[in-house]
Amino acid sequence: MIENNYKIVAVGEAGFDYFKNLSSKENQRKAFISQIEIALKYKLPLIVHDRDAHDDIMDVLKDYANISDFRAVVHCFSGDAGFALKCLDCGFYISFTGVITFPNAKKLAETVREVPIEKIFLETDSPFLAPQEKRGQENYPGYVKYIAYKIAEIKEMTIPDVANITSSNAEEFFGIT
């Protein structure tokens, strides 16, 4: 499927999800490594899913960080600034969702301050995690503007600059320019 489909631009979401524990850690680890190997084989970037599993995610990813063809974005980032810096040290991108707009997202806002805009993606994670302005509603891609507004506020940038830079980041990462 991948070999003959130029429309496939990434592998993922792949990673660990310890929130519901629907699969053992060992099974998740095996699946994650298999998906990383697929990404490497086809020279595609990896979209990393990390739910309550920061240490295990990094334990696996650090082994791939120095491989020249390996690219990754930690989607729906929920870690602290320390975890973000570990991701950045590996060359990974970090993607923020509507959670950044929540009033209690102070630690996440600190993380945004620490991450260079050139390493940030914006995402909605639709239909979940609607931004504060639309809380209680189903999320959809158009709400990404609220995330851009909040990132611009935190980083003291203009909204057009945040939108342009983060869009360029994603276009380059996914090879869709």
Give, for all 177 residues of the chain, the pLDDT tens digit: 677 767 899 999 999 999 987 899 999 999 999 999 999 999 999 999 999 999 999 999 999 999 999 999 999 999 999 999 999 999 999 999 999 999 999 999 999 999 999 999 999 999 999 999 999 999 999 999 999 999 999 999 999 999 999 999 999 999 997
Round to whole Å and give the CA distance between 127 and 32.
24
For residue 48, give the nearest of 67, 35, 63 by alpha carbon. 35
Q: What is the pTM of this model?
A: 0.94
Please determine, looking at this structure, whether the domain spanning 11-174 carries the CATH number 3.20.20.140.
yes
**98 neighbors 130 (Cβ within 8 angstroms):** yes
Q: Where are the alpha helices (DSSP H) in 1-158?
A: 25-41, 54-61, 81-89, 106-114, 144-155
Q: In what order do the strands lie in the sheet with 46-51?
A: 11-17, 46-51, 72-74, 93-96, 120-122
